[in-house]
């Protein structure tokens, strides 16, 4: 199964293609549109999969569609085809699948296309049953030529809602969603689909973490209740900021040292970045009390938000993935009182509304 998610970033044309999908953003920030995923032929290789029962993985509907996805997914941004070797990528993907993760996210722009190829090659070699996992990809920043990027008829066949309907009707994808769209844009796409008997989006991909809250907690729940659009969120640890790895410095092995990610290094070393890291230190006692790391607490905190179908994890090793999967055990401990305490420690408050 596959979900298509397309992206457009009109105000990031001066940045390199690899980091256009996540970086500094203003109030009028970038927007994104839906994508398509080719359906590979079925393979009959050896199979070792987990239903999630033995690992504690939980499954949720993608929005109000009938598609069931793991509440934690695996993202390939930064890592696949770039930060880690193909061998490490295979280890990560294997551990994810065997622990019940069935949602793998990529984009045509990640590592200039290499992330998609790496993911595809690994899945082909593993021989896992094609119906047992879901792939999402995103389109817009496809290549260097003018005809290889954008949302033109040349690049994605037609205007976006009609194009995604065509893609689904052709069997190239089963669902489509949006990425970095505003609530008004999503509503417009839904209205157009209903008006012309087309297929509406089922999810929105949005950044969400302890310091990026408003869209997922204030805007998207209303769309979930009104038109059934769920959320697939990414960067639950804010590109590594919500961990102990930085602590006022930039380790040589961190994402902030990768070419094209100077913006992340600047963020870590900025006054806001330092203030956020100081606030995170206040979460350490609570994490210790719950028997988890701050990263696990942050991921569980994202999972508790209304309408969130899946939270995408970005990891550079199988060991890091297993550590992040521990957030599943923390989720049940996040009582309303605990969430209020987190808000108090961070100096923020919940913005969610029905």
Token readout for 272 is 């806001």
Kindly list the catalytic residues.
110
**C-alpha torsion angle, residues 40, 43, 48, 52 (rounded to 10):** 40
> Using the 8-state DSSP alphabet, how is residue 144 labeled?
S
Closest-CA residue to 313 (of 74, 78, 107): 74
Which secondary-structure segment (H or E) carries 178? Answer: strand 175-179
74 vs 313: CA distance, rounded Å: 5
CA-to-CA dists, residue 6 to 54, 114, 136, 138, 219, angstroms: 35, 18, 10, 5, 20
274 vs 272: CA distance, rounded Å: 5
338: phi then psi, degrees, rounded to nearest 5: -65, -40
The residues, ordered by sequence, that sit 6+ positions from 186 with a Cβ below 8 Å of its Cβ are: 178, 201, 204, 223, 227, 229
Left (φ > 0), alpha (ψ -120 to 50) or beta: where does 248 sit?
A: left
Which secondary-structure segment (H or E) carries 105? Answer: strand 103-105
How many alpha carbons fall within 13 Å on the CB side of residue 140?
Answer: 22
> Using the 8-state DSSP alphabet, how is residue 79 labeled?
I
How many alpha carbons fall within 13 Å on the CB side of residue 22?
Answer: 25
Contact 263, 226 (CB under 8 A): no
149 vs 146: CA distance, rounded Å: 6
39 vs 144: CA distance, rounded Å: 25
Contact 177, 232 (CB under 8 A): yes
């Amino acid at each position: 199964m596959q979900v298509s998610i397309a992206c457009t970033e009109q105000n990031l044309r001066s940045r390199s293609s690899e980091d256009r999908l996540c970086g500094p953003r203003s109030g009028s920030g970038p927007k994104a549109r839906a994508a398509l995923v080719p359906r590979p032929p079925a393979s009959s290789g050896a199979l070792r999969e987990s239903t999630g029962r033995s690992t504690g993985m939980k499954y949720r509907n993608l929005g109000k569609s009938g598609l069931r996805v793991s509440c934690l997914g695996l993202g390939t941004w930064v890592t696949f085809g770039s930060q880690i070797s193909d061998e490490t990528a295979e280890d990560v993907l294997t551990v994810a699948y065997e622990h019940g993760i069935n949602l793998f996210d990529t984009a045509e722009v990640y590592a200039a296309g290499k992330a998609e190829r790496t993911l595809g090659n690994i899945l082909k070699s593993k021989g896992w049953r094609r119906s047992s996992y879901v792939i999402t990809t995103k389109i817009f920043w496809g290549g260097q030529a003018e005809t290889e990027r954008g949302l033109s008829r040349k690049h994605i066949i037609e205007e976006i809602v009609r194009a995604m309907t065509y893609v689904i009707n052709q069997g190239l994808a089963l669902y489509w969603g949006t990425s970095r769209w505003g609530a008004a844009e999503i509503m417009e796409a839904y209205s157009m689909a209903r008006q012309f008997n087309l297929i509406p989006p089922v999810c929105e991909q949005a950044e969400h973490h302890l310091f990026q809250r408003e869209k997922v907690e204030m805007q998207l729940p209303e769309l979930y209740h009104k038109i059934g659009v769920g959320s697939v969120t990414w960067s639950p640890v804010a590109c590594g900021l919500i961990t102990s790895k930085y602590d006022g410095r930039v380790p040589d092995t961190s994402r902030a040292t990768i070419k094209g990610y100077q913006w992340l290094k600047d963020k870590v070393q900025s006054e806001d970045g330092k203030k956020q890291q100081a606030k995170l230190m206040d979460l350490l006692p609570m994490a210790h009390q719950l028997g988890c790391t701050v990263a696990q607490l942050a991921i569980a905190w994202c999972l508790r938000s209304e309408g969130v179908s899946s939270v995408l994890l970005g990891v550079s090793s199988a060991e890091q993935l297993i550590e992040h999967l521990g957030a599943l055990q923390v989720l049940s401990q996040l009582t309303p009182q605990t969430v209020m305490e987190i808000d108090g420690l961070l100096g923020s408050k919940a913005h969610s509304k029905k």
